[in-house]
Amino acid sequence: MVSAMAETVRTTLVLEKPVFEKLRQVGKRRMSATANRLLAKELFGKRKSMFGVLKGKISVKDIKEDAEHDDLYS
């Protein structure tokens, strides 16, 4: 997404009536913020987490005890 501290630029958009009505449904009061959020999501896609994505289910069996790794810290 776009940073909250990003520089702003004023512009005029010509929207089709159904697009305008849908935009008003999503965010009546803060239309610019809503349009920015939706456009940024569509144009830039989802951000990648620096931690990655966890795929699959996690089991308690996957948890390793600290004692198993004590030899690494000796």
Torsion, Cα of 15, 18, 21, 23 (10° steps) = -60
pLDDT in tens, 8-63: 889 898 999 999 998 888 877 888 888 888 888 888 887 666 666 666 777 777 66
Burial 18-33 (b: 16+ CB within 10 A, else e): eeeeebeeeeeeeeee
pLDDT in tens, 42-54: 888 876 666 666 6
Name the residue ranges covered by the structural domains of the chain.
Answer: 17-73
Q: pLDDT at position 70, please?
A: 62
